[in-house]
Structure 1
Amino acid sequence: MATTSTMILSATSPLLGRAFPPPTNVASDAKFRVAIKSFDALLSTHLSDSGANQNTSFSVSVFSASDPALLYERHHTSETVAKASFGINEINGDSIYRIGSISKLLTVYTFLIQAGDRHLNEPITDYVPELLEMGGHVHLGPNWEEITLGELASHLSGISRDYGLNDFSVHDYEMVAGYPRLQPPLLPPLIPSDKPICGYLDSSGHMQPVIKLILYGGVANAPAAFPPSYTPAYCNNGFVLFALALERMKQEPFERLFNRSILEPLALHRSSYSVPSATQWLYGVVPGDPSQCGWSNEFGAFSPWVASAC
């Protein structure tokens, strides 16, 4: 028995590519002005809550590629920042934040600028064979030869989320993260090799320096959460390996590639890949002690997903 399918194209079939031209003169659009006014009022309503006002600082800017002027801008300084001993005490358009996981997007941009998308279906083991050499010591570990660069960059790899960071086996981590202390009898004991020895926040909030060889071995031997491309799940480790693959391709440190691809072309002179410089401290949003709030932490190999300052 054979079946035949026929695709009929008509004048109503959508074309591939962008469906509409980019908007122009957005600032003069009545509906946009109403939306911005409503958005601004909503922010004001939430900030009237004393808790939010005390601990929340932010900057919001809306722009269009077709308009040189900002369409909307608002900055809010929390009571904590207003009283801070380090950095600025009033946030404005020149303020600098440690931007955390937005760095993941910048990491993907760097990869696409430097290597394009033709490598995304290649296995990570083409560039980081250490995963095969170090792995295989745990039950249900990742099948590294099946995990592609694209899956690492899109939270589809199925590998463990973190090494060290957010690991409750680290001494006092639950207190650092603000959780109630766990009672030892509630959890089974771990053998020493299962406990991370770097890449975590200690009880004072300082990042324990990342030892790359230990990190790769820990990631390689952590059990897989699911098979590749089975389902999305947030994964920090994937971006460490993704950035390392680009380093191996280009034979250059990722920080240099990041600077050349993102910071220099856009003239982002006050942005950085690693710990903010002394000049950046003058503009920094530092809510409290620089070490405890993460401002002065050096994240090392974790930088492709957590550490940039903009």
Structure 2
Amino acid sequence: MEKQAAILDWPSQQQQHAQLQQRRRVRRRDLALTFGWSLIGSFIGLALALICFGHTDARWSPLDRLRQLHSSFTATRDSFPTYTGKTIPQSDAAIGWRCIPPPPPFLLDDIRIATHPAVLAALANIKLALEANAILHKDAVSISIVHASTGKLFDFHSGRVRLNESATASPAPVDGDSIYRIASISKAFVVLEALVLSRQAHLKGFRPELTLDSRLKEILPEFKLPAAFKEEEGEITLAHLGSHRAGLPRDIGEFQIGSLNDIVYPPGTPNLLDDFPHNRTIEELEGLVSNADLIWQVGESPSYSNTGFSLLGVAVSKYHNKLWKQDKNFTAIMRDDIFTPLNMSHTFTGPIPPHLRKHVTVPAASNLVDKVFALSHDPAGGIFSTSNDLSNLLHRVLLAANPELISSAQRRTWLKSVHQFTDGISSVGVPWETLGAVMPDFSRYNIYSKGGGLPAQFTEISVLPEFGLGVVALVSIGITDEQLHAGANYSAPMGLLLQIYNTLAPAIWQAYNDILVEDYVGVYLSDDGIARISFKEGTLVLEQLSANGVDVLLKWDEVIWTEVGKRPRLYDVGAKLIGTAFEGQFRSTLLYQCAWTGFDAITTKSGWGMDKIVIRRAHKNGPMVLTYEPMNAKLYKVA
């Protein structure tokens, strides 16, 4: 009777159809309003961009960010909450805390994301802002936005390839094949090569197997530190090098002065950068390291180290040659293991190939475009690339449903932070420099980025993996040395990147939520069961699941009671459904709890956990079907 009453509580089929039509009309209205407001916002955004970008300076990051944070602290410190003596507050106020799950990973390649009206409106706003930046600055700028569902989603280019020549002599504009020195973005490729070798060695059964946790000394026995650091010498891992936590100096032996009086600004001739980087052999670099004290204990704190990445490049090159019984240098290894498989045809290290010289962007100010780095320095910053090629990297390795070159498990481990700074905003990965991103529902994520900077060229790549979003931003500056040293402004990749995320990420968040509502929210029925799924506070909620006369949510409470005794019910308000990487599979948990512990300890004889809910289409154009094996339930979505 309870089951029948529950079914009768719901409207008739005709009423349900009318409600569905009403929801569709409301949605069309909301989309129209969204587009309308976005159009209005575009014009407002253009005006704001002209103001904001007028003050954009590549030196804003990170110095101005620190100034901004300092000003914010100075202005607000007196209004900070009074410290209560409770490091971890425990009160009823905590009930308002939520843990919003990310979009189900199996939706990342859903093409509806790229065509959603909110996403299209956001891209239109971004285009206007970038056009405003191009009006204000005569730099060469290449922007690509990538999404897991489509690959490249958006492209923007402004400026000329040869900024050191007049527009009359060299009018060629930049495009997706225009080449920039990407400097320290090279570090991401070195870590990727380590992961590629790890997978190859595992599949081949080669020993010693390589992982990011491998000790450097095992891969590079000749690595030495001064005698006082003998213990630390044996503890440094590849992950320590890749996350700047090995304690090594930044640029060993590169910049040496007698006193601060040797630093002159504006720089004269010669200046500190004239010989950077020195043309050292690998053996010379290892010799310098063997005589240099550590500046931090191993694992203590990230401290940016080009030296560490030079060693990492030496280590992976040596391991590669042992694994494959070859004698390749770093340039050839990168080409054969990464650039060629990913169709990165305009990406290289070493001297510029003659057939690509016409594509190389040249800034107006002094630069290192023609500088040929030694093999010992290429891993830290020697790679040249394009927005097209870097888009391939982001999509095919970091964002696509099935990554190339590495496994999905390797990618999930790679896109993680390993050191959180106390500001609660920034953290460090291998080799990622991460910033916190807050969505409209206050869920928090990390944007994983890697920046590069050499004189007059500045670059950034970044991904927001939970939303399948990535951005490439490359800049060669169009102002002269005199203008630069006088403080003139130019385009800042980090500023451009942050504006793109601030505009586009909320739109992609909206698109995912709309898909969740469209596909999963509603009533599911069978002859002997009912389920109701709603979307509340950014989460799919299983409000009811009954089958064969059993209230499943009550049973989940009873499982808890068997351990703690009868208490007020927890699942009477519903259960949160959290999508997994397995298509259509959700795990349920308490509404105000993160995915940490569930009922998978209790399974059916076939291994189906009590917390597992599967929702898939019966066939390509068929209804969604909810399956729950512990009650032999198969329910069809009817509204």
TM-score bracket relative to the smaller structure: 0.7 to 0.9
Q: 1:144 — aligned with what?
A: 233
1:22 paired residue number: 108
Name 2:378's counterpart in structure 1. 303
Q: Which residue, 123, 127, 134 being the options, matches 2:219?
A: 127
After TM superposition, list the pairs within 5 Å mapping 1:70-81 onto structure 2: 70-77=152-159, 81=163
Given the superposition, is the C-alpha separation of residues 46 and 284 from structure 1 closer, same or farther in structure 2, using an over 3 Å criterion? Answer: same
Aligned to 1:98: 181
| Change beyond 3 A, Cα 1:299–1:18 | farther
* CA-atom RMSD in angstroms: 3.6
Q: Do the aligned residues in 2 keep the contact of 1:275 with 1:307 (CA within 8 Å)? A: no
Structure 1 position 32 matched with structure 2 position 119: yes
Q: Deviations over 1:47-78 (max 9, x none)?
A: 443xxx14x3221111234326x321111216
Alignment equivalent of 1:236, drawn from 298, 306, 312: 306
One-letter code aligned to 1:299: F
Taking the aligned partners of 2:235 and 2:298, their CA distance within structure 1 comes to 7
The question of whether the paired residues in 2 share the 8 Å contact of 1:157 and 1:228 is answered with: yes
Q: Distance in 2 between matches of 1:283 and 1:79?
A: 7
**Shift, 1:170, TM fit:** 8.5
Q: Helix, strand or coil for the counterpart of 1:282?
A: helix
Aligned AA for 1:127?
I
Percent identity between the aligned chains? Answer: 22
Contact kept? 1:287, 1:293, Cα under 8 Å: yes
Secondary structure of 2:278 counterpart:
coil
Q: 1:253–1:234: structure 2 CA closer, same or farther, 3 Å change rule?
A: same
Mapped partners of 2:163, 2:356: distance in 1: 16
Q: In structure 1, what residue type is equivalent to 2:154?
A: Y
Q: CA 1:159 to 1:208, structure 2 compared with 1: closer, same or farther past 3 Å?
A: closer
The 8 Å contact of residues 161 and 362 in structure 2, kept in 1 or not, is answered as no
Q: Which residue is 2:367 aligned to?
A: 293
What letter corresponds to residue 217 of structure 2 in structure 1?
A: T
CA separation in 2, counterparts of 1:216 and 1:84? 44
Aligned mates of 1:23, 1:206 — CA distance in 2: 43
Indicate how the Cα distance of structure 1 residues 170 and 141 shifts in structure 2: closer, same or farther if over 3 A, else same: farther
1:211 and 2:281 aligned: yes
Which residue of the partner structure matches residue 169 of structure 1? 257
Q: How far apart are 1:125 and its partner, in Å?
A: 1.5
Q: Are 1:247 and 2:328 matched, yes or no?
A: no
Q: 1:203 to 1:31 in 2, by over 3 A?
A: closer
The Cα of 1:33 is off from its aligned counterpart by 1.8
Using the TM superposition, give the Cα deviation of residue 276 of structure 1 relative to its aligned residue in structure 2, in angstroms.
Answer: 1.3
How many residue pairs are counted as aligned between the two chains? 267
**CA separation of 1:35/1:302 partners in 2, compared to 1, >3 Å: closer, same or farther?**
same
C-alpha distance in 2 between matches for 1:180 and 1:247: 37
2:358 and 2:171 map into 1 onto residues whose CA distance is 6
Are residues 1:223 and 2:297 paired?
A: no
Counterpart in the other structure of 1:278: 354
Amino acid at match of 2:337: S
Give the C-alpha shift of residue 141 in structure 1. 8.7
SS of structure 2 residue aligned to 1:147? coil
SS at match of 2:176: coil
**Quick one: distance in 1 between partners of 2:373 and 2:258?**
17
SS in 2 for 1:60: strand
C-alpha contact (below 8 Å) 2:217/2:233 kept by paired residues: yes
Question: Gaps spanning 5+ residues in structure 1: where?
Answer: 1-12, 182-200
Corresponding position: 1:43 with 2:130: yes
In structure 2, what is the Cα distance between the partners aligned to 1:20 and 1:221? Answer: 51
TM norm structure 1: 0.73
Shift in Å, 1:281: 0.7
Residues 1:255 and 1:79: Cα distance change in structure 2 (over 3 Å) = closer
1:113 to 184, 188, 196: 196
Question: What amino acid sits opposite 1:130 in the alignment?
Answer: E
- For 1:158, the aligned partner's letter is G
| Aligned amino acid, residue 353 of structure 2 | S
| 1:100–1:220 distance in 2 versus 1, CA, 3 Å | same
> Aligned equivalents of 1:168 and 1:179: distance in 2?
18
Which position in structure 1 is the counterpart of 2:244? 155
Q: Distance in 1 between matches of 2:230 and 2:133?
A: 45
Change (3 A) 1:90 1:47: closer
Q: Which residue of 2 aligns with 1:259?
A: 335
In the alignment, the residues of structure 1 paired with residue 217 and residue 362 of structure 2 have an alpha-carbon distance, to the nearest angstrom, of 40
Q: 1:207 Cα deviation (Å)?
A: 4.6
> Contact conserved, 1:75 with 1:92, CA < 8 A, in 2?
yes
Is the 1:210–1:299 Cα contact (8 Å) retained in structure 2?
Answer: no
- Give, in angstroms, the shift of residue 206 of structure 1: 6.5
Q: What is the deviation of 1:143?
A: 2.2
The letter for the 1-side match of 2:331 is E
Q: What's the secondary structure of 2:146's corresponding residue?
A: strand
Shift of 1:81: 1.3
Contact 1:158 1:227 in 2 (8 A): yes
Q: Structure 2: which 5+ runs fail to align?
A: 1-98, 200-208, 322-327, 386-639
Q: Which structure features the higher share of strand residues? A: 2
SS in 2 for 1:146: coil
Please give the secondary structure, in 2, of the residue aligned with 1:232. coil
CA distance in 2 between counterparts of 1:110 and 1:173 reads: 40
TM-score normalised per structure 2: 0.37
Question: 2:177 is paired with a residue of what secondary structure?
Answer: coil
